[in-house]
Amino acid sequence: MTPQLNAVSSVVLDTLDRFPSRIGRVFIVGDTEIAVFRTSDDEIYAVENLNPHPKGGPLAEAIVSEHYIYDPLYDWKIDLKSGLVQKPDSGQVRTFRVEIADNQVILFTK
Amino acid sequence: MTNAKEKLVVIGNGMAGINTLEQILKLTDRFDITVFGSEPHPNYNRIMLSYVLEGSKTIDDIVINDWNWYKENGIALHTGQTVTNIDTDNKTVVTDGGMTASYDKLLIATGSNSLMLPIPGSDREGVVGFRDIADCDQMLEAAKQYKTAAVIGGGLLGLEAAKGLIGLGMDVTVVHLMNDLMERQLDTVASAMLKTELERQGIKFAMGKSTAEMQGDHRVRRLVFTDGEELDAEFVVMAVGIRPNKQIGEVSGIDTNRGILVDDFMRTSAPDVYAVGECAEHRGICYGLVAPLFEQGNILAKQICGVETAGYAGSITSTKLKISGVDVFSAGEFIEGPGHTVIAAKDEWKRTYKKILLDQGKIVGAVLFGDVTESASLQKYVREATEMTDEIYGDLMGTGGHCGGKSKTAAVEKMADDEIVCGCKGVTKKVIVDAINEKGLTTVDEIKACTGATGSCGGCKPVVEQILSFVLGDGFKKTAKAGICACTPLSRQEIVASIKEKGLRTTKEVMHVLEWHNPEGCSKCRPAVNYYLGVIYPGEHKDEKESRFVNERMNANIQKDGTYTVVPRMYGGVTTPEDLKKIADVSVKYNVKAVKVTGGQRLDLIGVQKEDLPKVWEELDMPSGYAYAKSLRTVKTCVGSQYCRFGTQDSMGVGAMLERKFERLDFPAKFKLAVNGCPRNCAESCTKDIGIVGNDGGWEIFVGGNGGIKARLADSLCKVKTDQELTDTVAAVMQYYRETGNYLERTSEWVERIGLEDIYKKTVEDVEYRRTLIDSIEHALTFVEDPWKQVLNDKKLRSELFEAGKPTVIQV
């Protein structure tokens, strides 16, 4: 059984070494796709894998620069910390709290 | 506290009403705002509908305030609700959907409707106005089914509609009552030049004609003019003008004339009720253009918020036609009368026309055709009735002694702070100046990112540049030649030189040592630097997947829904029945949504799921076609001497050979080749980066062709006799481009920047240099590897990039 996003408060995604630097990975939690990024300072950020652009699409294949991503389809700049789309575009993507414990990357869904 | 908020209701969800709201929101948050709109859309840029029709923009692109904007600003938006009555005594409004709302202040911004002439038969199907998204949709639909269209009205809107329909493939005739097009904005000379240019673009004209009747069955089929002549038309756009939408005022007992009457503070006859934009009539004038609407909105916002403001004194309007390739501008008085002094210059060779009218030495009007670079200055001079001086004359008429454009910046200097610079986004001079000063901006791009100015139609770019140079003064020139992106002031050349000189090895190192503003760069510079490093250190530079665009990282083209396309190699556009069978089997197995023959003579499997990509590659077992890469795409060929009776050279064989030899190498941008067996040129060499045309004694090589965004015919570089010479020349040109091209710069731009002469010298004439180029590319070619195979052989990469991870629940 795959865990449902609303039913659990945290899940283990993978071990830290399985996250390449500045390249996104996709995880499926229940019905939700989550894009997870490892920045060059070895922080892990997780956002919903749903482009805030009205036309939608994924985010995981974005170019990562510090704690920002440039979305792969429309080149919108998005802050991974807040999920906020940077000017002159606007919008917000849902963010998730992530913690690294004992080399395990844990995603909090609530 | 929230109960204390005053209620502001806006009738009309268009540019005028929402722009006024934006101005109000900048001044105060004391209102509880409700907006009623008849159309089912958020606020969009109506003046850009012609771009939607033309296909260069989508509806989404022209939305100014998306749904989120309303939410973020706490505005209650009710679309599809038309307000039918205002009770000005009890201060409430009622909609056709039965909603009611009470207000403290009410803003009427209902705009205008297309004026539909009551011509007999005009109630038939297929007769529309050109005003909103619904009209636009009807036009797009009509173009799919019908061939002939008539546009009634040769004004701004009519001509834009006509051009749009031409673009959609219809046969279009503009029917105009007068003998001059755009007679309300242009004089006879400019109007005639405009007509000639539009005829060149395919529009037909029926001038001096008045439509007596529209005939047909349930649908319109033809127009009959008052002189008895007929015109076949299965689709008619009525663009004779607009009528202020004043109905709500009339039924509610508010004073109206042509429009809803307002005073200098946009107040109507009813207390606390205001009107703005095209529905309003001010001092006898109803405006139908965008600039006055911003000016009115600005004053109205201050008035409503209790900020002291001078009243609205009317606008001097100026006009620009939004048809590509046709630059027209007019402002103020443009038909000369007896009291006018006329300055005019007509150039039939360059097809430009310039006319400036003076009244007692003051500039009161102007018309420009062909070259509109002076439009910003003229607009200002006309508005302020500036006295003509020798200096201004020299500047405007191009006879001035100095070429520094000093008085242009002077015009910007005198521009009022709250003057609108970007009409599409309503950005004032002050907003731009403040952004430059406070945020230290130095380029138009940065201003666009920060304020939105120039981001829509781009017409205001010259003025924004002038403001920039005015604010920065001498600082402008230094930074104006701009780095490769906002992260660095350095150019490609400087970056490449530093990489070589300092021995920099990674993008991180480059950005650190060369002091990038953003330590990790952006989506523009990181892929570029990664490319430059690859060309400088072939075989040594470890390609940075994290600095590649999605398509090059995934080795497939991403589509808007997140699926991908797969294009296998088909060398020279030649395949086999066995390969076709395999492609068919794989397509069926992986449920490919479409199989498309590409422009480059191969097959595109569209709609492959990301996790299926490696499996599709594995089962195809063919080399990657690099359809996603800045690399050699295809070599298009004709049948050639193997089979064609005209063929003089083996184009299929040579095309496949070149494709095999040069595939997989990185280029600054995508790279296309064509090889033709004879000068009939069936494989279209003239629009390829390198085009090769066979003749009886050898080959002719063309470079710098492009059939894409900016079409360019290739230039003939040289003729060669043998296949070896051909391969060597192709190799030398490719390597020279690889070494000197700016990232993302196609050869069409590269040839113009570097010059054909220099390319000839380096790749043909100078034998030694040519040898170095060939050796370099041969060296680089020894390191290339098929990317699909690479992924299939690397399990970790495959799972990280292509497979979705499945998390595990923590057991507490």
The two structure tokens encoding residue B328: 């027209």
Would you state the pLDDT for residue B402?
40
Are A88 and B450 in contact (CB < 8 Å)?
Answer: yes
- Secondary structure of B59-111 in HEC code, one letter for each residue: CHHHECCCHHHHHHCCCEEEECCCEEEEECCCCEEEECCCCEEECCEEEECCC
Would you state the pLDDT for residue B400?
42
Would you state the pLDDT for residue B54?
74
Give the pLDDT band (50/70/90) at residue B448: confident
Angle between helix B429-439 and helix B444-451 axes, rounded to 10 deg: 110
Nearest-Cα residue of chain B relative to residue A59: B562
Are B68 and A11 in contact (CB < 8 Å)?
Answer: no
* pLDDT tens, residue by residue, B492-545: 999 999 999 999 999 999 999 999 988 999 999 999 999 999 999 998 899 999
Q: Which residue has the higher pLDDT, B6 or B404?
A: B6
The closest CB to that of A20, out of B449, B561, B800, belongs to B800
Q: Which residue has the higher pLDDT, B192 or B413?
A: B192
**Residues of A with CB below 8 A from B545's CB?**
20, 23
Residue B812 has pLDDT above 70, yes or no: no
The closest CB to that of A61, out of B550, B805, B809, belongs to B550
Listed range (B471-475, B483-487, B684-688) with the worst mean pLDDT: B471-475
ipTM of the complex: 0.90
Q: Could you give the CA distance from residue B172 to residue B154 in angstroms, rounded to a whole number?
A: 12
Over the range B210-222, which residues count as b (16 or more CB within 10 Å of their CB) and which as e?
A: ebbebebeeebbb
Residue B132 has pLDDT above 90, yes or no: no
Are B526 and A90 in contact (CB < 8 Å)?
Answer: no
Would you state the pLDDT for residue B1?
44
Stretch B280-284: mean pLDDT = 93
- B292 reaches A (C-beta below 8 A): no
Listed range (B325-329, B485-489, B496-500, B600-604) with the worst mean pLDDT: B325-329
Give the pLDDT band (50/70/90) at residue B409: low
Would you state the pLDDT for residue B457?
62
Stretch A79-88: mean pLDDT = 92
The CATH number fitting domain B630-781, selected from 3.30.413.10, 3.20.20.70, 3.40.50.300, 2.60.40.1180: 3.30.413.10
Q: In residues, how long is chain A?
A: 110
Nearest-Cα residue of chain B relative to residue A26: B804
Give the pLDDT band (50/70/90) at residue A3: low
Would you state the pLDDT for residue B551?
94
The two structure tokens encoding residue B776: 């370099």
The two structure tokens encoding residue B762: 């380096």
Are A56 and B560 in contact (CB < 8 Å)?
Answer: yes
Question: Which of B45-54, B424-433, B570-579 shows the highest mean pLDDT?
Answer: B570-579
Tally C-beta pairs within 8 A across A and B.
Answer: 112
Residue B475 has pLDDT above 90, yes or no: no
B31 with B5: CB under 8 angstroms?
A: yes
Are B807 and A27 in contact (CB < 8 Å)?
Answer: yes
Q: Could you give the CA distance from residue B551 to residue B181 in angstroms, rounded to a whole number?
A: 48
For B677, residues 6+ apart whose C-beta sits below 8 A from its C-beta are B637, B638, B639, B640, B641, B644, B646, B647, B648, B649, B650, B651, B694
Listed range (B190-194, B245-249, B318-322, B732-736) with the worst mean pLDDT: B318-322
- Provide the CATH topology of domain B2-111+244-305: FAD/NAD(P)-binding domain (3.50.50)
* pLDDT tens, residue by residue, B187-197: 898 899 999 98
Q: Strands across the sheet with B318-320, in order?
A: B318-320, B328-332, B362-369, B352-359, B340-347
Interface of A with B in 61-90 (CB under 8 A): 61-66, 70, 72-73, 75, 77, 87-88, 90
Q: Which residues pair with B428 in a beta bridge?
A: B420
* pLDDT tens, residue by residue, B152-174: 999 888 998 998 898 888 999 99
Hunting for tokens 């009457």 — which residue is that?
B261
**Residues of A with CB below 8 A from B44's CB?**
none
Q: Could you give the CA distance from residue B468 to residue B453 in angstroms, rounded to a whole number?
A: 12
Q: Do domains B127-240 and B630-781 have the same CATH topology?
A: no
Would you state the pLDDT for residue A6?
58
Would you state the pLDDT for residue B482?
63
- B554 reaches A (C-beta below 8 A): yes
The two structure tokens encoding residue B467: 């403001």
Residue B755 is inside which H or E element, if any? none
B294 with B277: CB under 8 angstroms?
A: no
- A15 reaches B (C-beta below 8 A): no
Residue B203 has pLDDT above 90, yes or no: yes
* pLDDT tens, residue by residue, B260-274: 999 999 999 999 999
Just give the CATH number of A10-108.
2.102.10.10
Q: Are strands B690-695 and B671-676 parallel, antiparallel or unpaired?
A: parallel
Would you state the pLDDT for residue B324?
65
**Residues of A with CB below 8 A from B546's CB?**
20-23, 63-64
**Residues of A with CB below 8 A from B609's CB?**
none
- A99 reaches B (C-beta below 8 A): no
* Cα torsion B615, B616, B622, B628: sign: negative
Give the pLDDT band (50/70/90) at residue B451: confident
The two structure tokens encoding residue B186: 């242009």
Q: Could you give the CA distance from residue B248 to residue B245 in angstroms, rounded to a whole number?
A: 8
For B2, residues 6+ apart whose C-beta sits below 8 A from its C-beta are B32
Instruction: Report domain extents, chain B.
Output: 2-111+244-305, 127-240, 492-548, 630-781
* pLDDT tens, residue by residue, B350-406: 888 999 999 999 999 999 998 887 887 888 888 888 899 888 888 888 654 443 444
**Residues of B with CB below 8 A from A70's CB?**
522-523
Are A57 and B560 in contact (CB < 8 Å)?
Answer: yes
For B254, residues 6+ apart whose C-beta sits below 8 A from its C-beta are B86, B88, B260, B261, B268, B269, B270, B273
**Residues of A with CB below 8 A from B552's CB?**
none
Would you state the pLDDT for residue B55?
73
Are A87 and B450 in contact (CB < 8 Å)?
Answer: yes
Mutate to test the interface with A, among B73, B485, B809, B812 (most CBs of A within 10 A): B809
Instruction: Report domain extents, chain A.
Output: 10-108
- Secondary structure of B268-314 in HEC code, one letter for each residue: CCCCCEEECHHHEEECCECCCCHHHHHHHHHHHHHHHHCCCCCCCCC
A66: closest CA of chain B, how far (Å) = 6
Nearest-Cα residue of chain A relative to residue B456: A88
Long-range residue pairs from B507-510, CB within 8 A, at least 24 positions apart, any chain: B507/B533, B507/B544, B507/B547, B508/A40
Give the pLDDT band (50/70/90) at residue B478: very low
Question: Which of B237-241, B282-286, B532-536 shows the highest mean pLDDT?
Answer: B532-536
Residue B334 has pLDDT above 90, yes or no: no
Interface of B with A in 765-804 (CB under 8 A): 800-801, 804
Would you state the pLDDT for residue B3?
55
Interface of A with B in 25-44 (CB under 8 A): 25-29, 33, 36, 40
The CATH number fitting domain B127-240, selected from 3.50.50.60, 1.10.760.10, 3.50.30.60, 3.40.50.300: 3.50.50.60
Percentage of residues in chain A having pLDDT higher than 90: 72
Q: Could you give the CA distance from residue B32 to residue B24 in angstroms, rounded to a whole number?
A: 12
Residue B476 has pLDDT above 60, yes or no: no
**Secondary structure class of A70 (helix, strand, coil):** strand
Q: How many other CB atoms sit within 10 Å of the CB of residue B370?
A: 19
B65 with B23: CB under 8 angstroms?
A: no
Are B546 and A72 in contact (CB < 8 Å)?
Answer: no
Q: Which residue has the higher pLDDT, B404 or B793?
A: B793
Stretch B75-104: mean pLDDT = 94
Are A77 and B522 in contact (CB < 8 Å)?
Answer: yes
**Residues of B with CB below 8 A from A17's CB?**
none
